[in-house]
Chains A and B, each alone.
Chain A
Amino acid sequence: MSDTQTFLDTLKTRSQQRETEPSWIAARRQAGAARFEALGFPTRRDEEWKYTDVRSIAQGNFALTDNADFSPAQAAALTLPVDAYRLTFVDGVYAPALSDVDALPETVHVLPLSKALSENHEAVGGPLGRLTGVDFSAFAALNTAFMEEGAVVRIAPGTVVEKPILLQFLSRANGTPVMSHPRILVEAGGRSEATLIEHYCGDQDAANFTNVVGEFMLDRGAILNHYKLQEAPLLDMHVASMHVEQGRDTRYTSYNLNLGGALVRNDLISDLNGQGAETNFLGLFFGQGRQHVDNHTKVNHNAPLTFSNENYKGILDDRAHGVFNGKVYVKRDSQKIEGFQSNQNLLLSDRAQIDAKPELEIYADDVKCSHGTTTGQLDEEAIYALRTRGIDEATARGLLTLAFAGEVLEKVTLDAIAERVELAVAGKLPERFNLAGLVETAVALND
């Protein structure tokens, strides 16, 4: 039996169990299944998957689940301490008991996809799949075939959402591994402003497969800060296909923070379609043990006077393997664009590995573009210097590792997220690394 057949059989069983659904959804589902079957899982012969072997997913046998049972105490321990509007999904299943969106203003809609489909499926049906279609990849096609649940976020024009919107995905230690195929659909109206947090975490012993597709549409002048904190359990498999569409004068900032997962692949694409659109890709990936973390990013400068800034930092320990592939594409006659890309990697062990490939593809002549990638190790002299001040070796290494991540980490303004990253990358430190409060005191003393 081929790898795809296992998944198609699960799909067939699921379809038979399912109640009737609108015909357009059934049609998309079929299209997804057909495309998935035709494409098959990618292999390392595919250029886009040259360094990432997905056999552990393809040869897995993942069940689907219908219950969202999760101990509230444990969920509370995992949840980011952020005052936010919150939707929680357990192995892909919506968990109303762990969600709270009651206080949302009328101009903001945050609801599970299942509810959005049942209430107003036509409004969702239009944008859903418009950016990430079934042709994008076998994983996107597979997601479409299975799509049932996820989050729909709609922000009316001119609305500034004061609190972050938190989408929390919990992975359980199940008897048999399960899979989920969440969809995230965000429509940010003109001149709206919001912060969205995707947070993946779960039971330490979980070994599930999450295959998420996210589509983010920014209308003229919209600002979206998008945190993706991926702290999935260390045996989880995580594939994410994220596609951003930016109209005129929009600003999108991605904080793509990857700490967990056995096998992780992120595809992040931004289409800069209107003049004045700006996209910022900030990334941090940390791998230990035998983790494999692959980040593929692409910025499409489709219009003149568009701007992109990308900074990805990789930290790899033990036998972890990182992949960075960043592409900046400038469409014909997209003049006066600026595209900057930087990727720096830190190898903490001799057996850690990174494959980094920056790519520029430019079809305009009046552009400012640069890219660069470096890989290095911790400075032993600096470790010695810190130790001579009484700081133990593990802390000294942690500090220098965090310092390496500094350029990215400093921009993470949500303390709860910065703390999680610090803890994962540097272990328990004696102080908060950025010491924001102290620095303020120091500045005050200057007066």
Chain B
Amino acid sequence: MLQVTDLHVTVEDKEILKGLTLTINAGEVHAIMGPNGAGKSTLSAVIAGKDGYEVTQGSITFEGKDVLEMEIEERAQAGLLLGFQYPVEIPGVKNIYLLKSALNAQRKARGLEDMPAPEFMKLVKEKLGFMKMDASFLQRAVNEGFSGGEKKRNEILQMLVLQPKLAMLDEIDSGLDIDAMKVVADGVNSLRAEERAILLVTHYQRLLDYIVPDKVHVLVDGRIVKTGDAELAKQLEANGYEGIEESAA
């Protein structure tokens, strides 16, 4: 589904990713872990298409298509969705509007008609309930005045409505208390499906107790230095990144 090959990325003339290779197949949940500054957030930002990242070498393909040639919105319409570590506040734009326009933009790109309003509201109501969110959220401006936990839940709500093929979640656990984490994890787990893949980027193993990954990659200094299963995350929790950094050096 997603193929990242020998990816080199520079930010403000500093090379952050130094030859990263990663394959994600449908049905899989991957976790990328690593110390601060290793390039974890850079990877998801480049895949989503954020400005300011220069790809100097390598490629990213999604279902065989060259992601780097696609506009930001085309990536989302194709089913590549990024959940932000720090969701942006968008004053004046209602959540309900964002959800409806985003869903219909995706449908339009896939040659489908707009979803009829009653069907849409039924869908949104169901997902809201799942995320333990009140319907009043829909009328509030996107993330404006939301607590950290509410913002993260809102990111997952968008995922549940938009049903991406590949959901990338950047530090979705940061700033969450244990109850909020459970709700978020339930939301993410409900996305698990044969035709879908999930990429978790996280600093801490804690999240992986709730969302058990199929594969764990350790990202150190711009490269994946080790890949394993969920057990690897537990080892990291016990021993830290030092040992792995040394073995990589």
The 8 Å CB contact of B100, one of A381, A382, A431, A446, is A431
Are the CB atoms of A384 and B138 closer together than 8 Å? no
- Report Cα–Cα, A445/B118, bound state, in Å: 11
Q: Which residues of the other chain, B, contact A340 by a CB distance below 8 angstroms? A: none
Are the CB atoms of A389 and B158 closer together than 8 Å? yes
Say whether A100 faces chain B, with CB atoms less than 8 Å apart: no
Are the CB atoms of B162 and A390 closer together than 8 Å? yes
- Report Cα–Cα, A400/B120, bound state, in Å: 23
The 8 Å CB contact of B121, one of A379, A386, A387, A441, is A441
Say whether A427 faces chain B, with CB atoms less than 8 Å apart: no
- Report Cα–Cα, A439/B108, bound state, in Å: 23
Are the CB atoms of B76 and A388 closer together than 8 Å? yes
Q: Which of A60-68, A197-205, A401-409 contacts B (4 or more CB under 8 A)?
A: A401-409
- Report Cα–Cα, A442/B123, bound state, in Å: 11
Say whether B32 faces chain A, with CB atoms less than 8 Å apart: no
Are the CB atoms of A392 and B117 closer together than 8 Å? no
0/1 interface trace, chain A 367-397, chain B, CB 8 Å (1 if under): 0000000000001111011111111110100
Q: Which residues of the other chain, A, contact B248 by a CB distance below 8 angstroms? A: none
Q: How far is the CB of A58 from chain B (nearest CB, A)?
A: 40
Q: Which residues of the other chain, A, contact B117 by a CB distance below 8 angstroms? A: 437-438, 441
- Nearest residue (CB) in A for B135 is A446
A385-B90, A430-B104 known; A390-B76 Cβ under 8 A: yes
- Report Cα–Cα, A66/B100, bound state, in Å: 51
Are the CB atoms of A435 and B134 closer together than 8 Å? no
- Report Cα–Cα, A369/B92, bound state, in Å: 26
- Tally of B interface residues using CB under 8 Å: 48
Q: Which residues of the other chain, A, contact B94 by a CB distance below 8 angstroms? A: 435, 439
Q: Which residues of the other chain, A, contact B141 by a CB distance below 8 angstroms? A: 403
Q: How far is the CB of A313 from chain B (nearest CB, A)?
A: 11
Which of A389, A433, A443: most chain B Cβ within 10 A? A389
Are the CB atoms of A395 and B101 closer together than 8 Å? yes
Say whether A259 faces chain B, with CB atoms less than 8 Å apart: no
Are the CB atoms of A442 and B162 closer together than 8 Å? no
Are the CB atoms of A391 and B101 closer together than 8 Å? yes
Q: How far is the CB of B136 from chain A (nearest CB, A)?
A: 7
Q: Which residues of the other chain, B, contact A443 by a CB distance below 8 angstroms? A: 135, 139
Q: How far is the CB of B181 from chain A (nearest CB, A)?
A: 23
Say whether B91 faces chain A, with CB atoms less than 8 Å apart: yes
- Report Cα–Cα, A435/B73, bound state, in Å: 22
Are the CB atoms of B97 and A431 closer together than 8 Å? yes
Are the CB atoms of A433 and B97 closer together than 8 Å? yes
The 8 Å CB contact of B90, one of A386, A439, A442, is A386
The 8 Å CB contact of A442, one of B88, B104, B135, is B135
A400-B92, A439-B96 known; A391-B102 Cβ under 8 A: yes
- Report Cα–Cα, A368/B97, bound state, in Å: 37
Are the CB atoms of B90 and A382 closer together than 8 Å? yes
Say whether A399 faces chain B, with CB atoms less than 8 Å apart: yes
Q: Which of B47-55, B172-180, B183-191 contacts A (4 or more CB under 8 A)?
A: B47-55
Say whether B72 faces chain A, with CB atoms less than 8 Å apart: yes
A433-B97, A439-B139, A442-B121 known; A406-B92 Cβ under 8 A: yes
A388-B72, A391-B105 known; A438-B100 Cβ under 8 A: yes
- Nearest residue (CB) in B for A402 is B92
Say whether B182 faces chain A, with CB atoms less than 8 Å apart: no
Q: How far is the CB of A338 from chain B (nearest CB, A)?
A: 26
A388-B76, A391-B105, A403-B91 known; A435-B84 Cβ under 8 A: no
- Nearest residue (CB) in A for B99 is A389
- Nearest residue (CB) in B for A387 is B72
Are the CB atoms of B100 and A388 closer together than 8 Å? no
Say whether B109 faces chain A, with CB atoms less than 8 Å apart: yes
- Report Cα–Cα, A379/B144, bound state, in Å: 14
A400-B90, A435-B94 known; A442-B138 Cβ under 8 A: yes
- Nearest residue (CB) in A for B97 is A435
A384-B72, A390-B109, A431-B97 known; A438-B104 Cβ under 8 A: no
- Report Cα–Cα, A330/B105, bound state, in Å: 52
- Report Cα–Cα, A388/B73, bound state, in Å: 6
Spell out A's residues near B (CB within 8 Å). Answer: 379-382, 384-393, 395, 399-400, 402-404, 406, 429-431, 433, 435, 437-439, 441-443, 445-446
In the A-B complex, the 4 residue pairs with the smallest Cβ-Cβ separation, listed nearest first, are A403-B92, A390-B76, A389-B102, A387-B72
- 9 A-B pairs, CB-CB below 8 angstroms? A384-B88, A386-B93, A388-B73, A393-B71, A400-B90, A403-B90, A435-B100, A439-B139, A441-B121
Apart from A389-B105, A442-B138, what 10 extra A-B contacts exist at CB < 8 Å? A386-B93, A386-B98, A387-B71, A390-B76, A390-B77, A392-B73, A395-B101, A430-B105, A430-B108, A443-B135
